[in-house]
Amino acid sequence: MTSFLADVYLWVKALHVMSVITWMAGLFYLPRLFVYHAEQVQTGEVTDKLFQTMEMKLLRVIMNPAMIATWVFGLLLVATPGIVDWSMVWPWTKAASVIVMTWFHHWLGLRRKDFMAGQNTLTGRRYRMMNELPTVLMIVIVLSVIVKF
């Protein structure tokens, strides 16, 4: 299995990068939709249902598969011999950041359910603030992998 992973390393790496880009796009966009949903839409309006549909499709059709693919391809990269040196700091900072990013993904899913139930209690300002988390995590991940600090 390890020789197979070494043979397909560049393919797995490319698929991992594509999955990450797709997942990150969703992690940036969904909280932005929540900002507009919280600030400009009243529960039960036609636009409320439109926002709920857009948020649900973004999460289920794009973000969930991208997150799963990111994890699968990332774990395959970790299993490829010679790719990760666990005695260094960078794989640990990346792993911790990916776990926090996954938590954020699920937190967004719970907020979507709040909107669906007409029970959102967070403000647009709060969603704007939370929208910064994926940016910070992305910076840590990219610096960890590229600079290997």
Tell me the two tokens of residue 132: 């910064």
Residues of the domain holding 123: 2-147
What is the average pLDDT value for the chain, to the nearest integer?
Answer: 96
Tens-digit pLDDT profile for residues 60-78 = 999 999 999 999 999 999 9
Question: Tokens 């709040």 sit at which residue?
Answer: 114
Give the pLDDT confidence score for residue 149 in this predicted structure: 79
3-state secondary structure of 132: coil
- CA 18 vs CA 21, 23, 54, 63, 148: distances in Å: 5, 9, 22, 12, 21
pLDDT for residue 112 is more than 80: yes
d(CA 2, CA 23): 27
The stretch 23-43 carries a mean pLDDT of 97
Q: How many domains, in total, are found in the chain?
A: 1
What pLDDT shows up at residue 2?
Answer: 72
